[in-house]
Amino acid sequence: MMPPSPCPGQGAARRRRGAPPNAGVRRPAPGGASVNGPVPTVEGLQFSYALHPLPPGRLPFGRWRWELWHGSTMVAAGWRLSRPQAGRALRLHAAEFGHRLFGLPAPERDPHAAGGDIRPGAAERLAIGPITCLLVPKALEAPPALAAGAVR
């Protein structure tokens, strides 16, 4: 039902001239609920990672290569001198990318907040700031036939 118009006949004339059909609908008061229906649930944010030692090269110390993937896109990669340092780098870059993905400011880098080593082959839930994501080894994403090396 439309509210009465101040001038008789004016409301009907406005609707006939192409005004939107919801011109007389009451809007919710400011500060009220902004959602008038169910909100879709989105599956959690998931990153894949690869973490492996690099073969010896010209440098006289061991290095660990890390890669962070979001679907088929490599988000970040690098190398560190130890596996715990590579695990921290994975966590920090996953948190930064997750924040940017949702348009949030990335938290300040705190290497101690990113934890230590990642157990080999372990999936890990990461919560830094308002973002929660799952880090899964890249090898676990391959189809079973490819992961087992089966040949037809």
pLDDT tens digits for 87-142?
989 988 998 898 888 888 887 777 666 677 888 888 998 887 788 889 999 876 55
Task: Tell me if 111 sits within 8 A of 88, measured CB to CB.
Answer: yes
Asked whether the CA dihedral 133, 138, 140, 143 is positive or negative, the reply is: positive
In the predicted model, is pLDDT for residue 41 greater than 50?
no
